[in-house]
Structure 1
Amino acid sequence: MATSPDHLPASPAHWLQNLVLRGLIGGLLLLPYRWRVPLCGWIFARVIAPLAGYNRRIRDNLALIFPEMPAAEVRRMVRAVPDNVGRTIIELYSGAAFTARAKAAPIHGPGLAALEQARATGRPVLLVTGHFGNYDASRAALIARGFAVGGLYRPMTNRYFNAHYVAAISGIGEPLFARGRQGMAGMIRFLRGGGMLGIVQDQHMKHAPKLRFFGHPAKTALSAAELALKYDALLVPTYAIRQENGLDFDILVDAPIPHSTAEAMTQALNDHLEAHVRQHLDQWFWIHKRWKD
């Protein structure tokens, strides 16, 4: 299991924040799965999101991207987006109950055949998703079907929370690699050995180039495309779309992105994610500062 990077800062505020969140998560885990998931969504939408300033951020992001969105739809999004975030968080902590849901989910798409061929030939694969639906459900679904899928994660700034968060997602599947020097060597060995690596790539990266996302400049890491080019890996978009009951998923494994340049391939990933978000607007994490500039 990957551990919390030592360089993450520690503070009394982080300790207290983690104490509250651990208590909340621990209490929810005492409930049956079918109750805890919607309840965590409700708590996140009604309590945590307003206190954390996420409601304002959702409104600001929607005003930038959809300035003509009706006020009623904005209000619905302000509730629905954090509800999905809350459901995702408690699902990731739910271990076997969550992986059972992912295993039972229908999985389809033109990329499945490409994954099977890559596994047979030992070719590495980069599975790229976004903070959409539940971003780890597709990894869980593929692992349940016999694919060896590792994960690249971005350590959280709260080192106390990061430690048990990494432990939770390790329960879904290993190996896991932290972004940065600490995880790079192991990740490269894994890819060179024909591994499949899941990457969530839709957050602002400070030193990344500006590409387009929803028609606006958004700094986007080129790392997935660069790795695909360097190690002749498939670059495959995949998404887990939450279904109407709020508990189940539909897993899409789409066709590999053709190799060209890192910038063009990453823009294709942005365009691909945007197209799916437009079909399920309330399932993307509009709480992120995606367009900081």
Structure 2
Amino acid sequence: MVGKVLKKARRDFMFRYGRRLRQMEHWLVARLAMAMISLLRLLPPDKALNFADRVARRIGPLVGRHRVAVNNLRLAYPEKSDAEIEAIALDMWGNMARLAAEYIFLDALFDYDPKATKPGRVDVRGVEHFVEIAGEKKPHILFTGHLGNFELLPVAAATFGMNITALFRPPNNPYLADYIHSTRRSTMGGLLPSSTGASFALAAILENGGNIGVLVDQKFSSGLETTFFGRPCQSNPVLGMLARHYDCDVYPARCVRLPGNRFRLDIEDKLTLPRTESGSVDVHATTQLLADVVERWVREDPGQWMWFHKRWEMSGRRRKRRGQAEERPADPVPGPN
């Protein structure tokens, strides 16, 4: 009896100790990040972004996720040499560092003006789609991947008067989450944090004629089995499920990072979604179609995607095949992997 009490007390102590240790770690990381942000604020935007890129290219190869990225790249591009693989991985770290630093200058970076006679920092292709969506009184879905500075897409949507709610996953660090959320909220219009039940919140937005923006390129453990770069993976079916239920148009959109700290935002023609024999949207085929679109984008700019993500890690016991994921709504946002 005494032994059980002592064992429970020890478990409780270790739990509380571990939680406080994580809180301290989050606080220290946040303080370090905020110190770096304060330093970058002292620099002009271009110098700050270039500095962040150089630092990340030195530090990135030292972290464990670099090995994950290199392994994923070798499997995706078996024809490439080790030097080419390492070059893409370094570009990836540079892109991620620039993305983080660009939060500081988000307002200044988006300078698109349709009436401008000279090219600015941001070029937008597919402006007619933004205008069309903003003017239509029906729901739409826009999807993208973690490419370039994908955060500029909802900024562009807000600029064109598009009423869009962007789904976002807050960082695990609560101190950083508050800062990032406040930055996003001031420039991006509606925001919906990912959590249990977020799929129902998305459905409610579409039900009321609103528009949603979703990232579709992360692992989703309870999702449908699809292929990405020829390898099996698990993908979230919620976009296909929502498109089927509300029969709304689906548009691909991406950000491409250009030389000289410039960006190109592409909103492509709406997709023709695959249908079942009964005429409804085929959820599994649609989920695969989204993966194919993102793969095309990544192949065009491989250094602008997050190869350190464990996209191809399979959860065998929970793997779902065609039709199985259509029984119930899925949480639309995968966990951090």
Q: TM-score range by the shorter chain?
A: 0.7 to 0.9
Deviation at 1:38, TM superposition (A): 1.5
The sequence identity of aligned pairs, in percent, is: 26
Match of 2:26 in 1: 14
Q: SS of 1:258's equivalent?
A: coil
Given candidates 29, 35, 42, the residue that maps to 1:23 is 35
Counterpart mapping for 1:5-154 below 5 A: 11-47=23-59, 49-100=60-111, 104=120, 105-109=122-126, 112-154=127-169
CA distance in 2, matches of 1:240, 1:223: 23
CA distance in 2, matches of 1:261, 1:140: 31
Q: Deviations over 1:142-199 (max 9, x none)?
A: 2222222221012222222222121222122121001224655654443333222221
Give 1:97's aligned amino acid: A
Alignment TM-score, normalising by the size of structure 1: 0.87
Alignment TM-score, normalising by the size of structure 2: 0.77
Larger radius of gyration: 2
CA distance in 1, matches of 2:154, 2:196: 23
CA distance in 1, matches of 2:230, 2:152: 28
Match of 1:270 in 2: 291
Q: SS of 1:249's equivalent?
A: strand
Structure with more contact order per residue of length (Cα contacts < 8 Å, sep ≥ 6): 1
Match of 2:262 in 1: 248
Give 1:87's aligned amino acid: R
Given candidates 198, 201, 208, the residue that maps to 2:223 is 208
Give 1:255's aligned amino acid: D
Q: What 5-or-longer segments of structure 1 have no aligned partner?
A: 1-8
CA distance in 2, matches of 1:207, 1:250: 34
Q: What 5-or-longer segments of structure 2 have no aligned partner?
A: 1-18, 115-119, 274-280, 315-337
CA distance in 1, matches of 2:293, 2:134: 24
Given candidates 245, 248, 257, the residue that maps to 1:230 is 245
> RMSD of the alignment, in Å?
2.2
Conserved 8 A contact 1:125-1:233:
yes
Give 1:25's aligned amino acid: I
Give 2:25's aligned amino acid: A
Q: Deviations over 1:105-143 (max 9, x none)?
A: 22223xx54554443331111110001111112222222
Verify: 1:283 aligned to 2:304, yes or no: yes
CA distance in 2, matches of 1:13, 1:102: 43
Per the alignment, do residues 274 and 102 of structure 1 end up closer, same or farther by CA in structure 2, a change over 3 Å counting? farther
Deviation at 1:282, TM superposition (A): 0.8
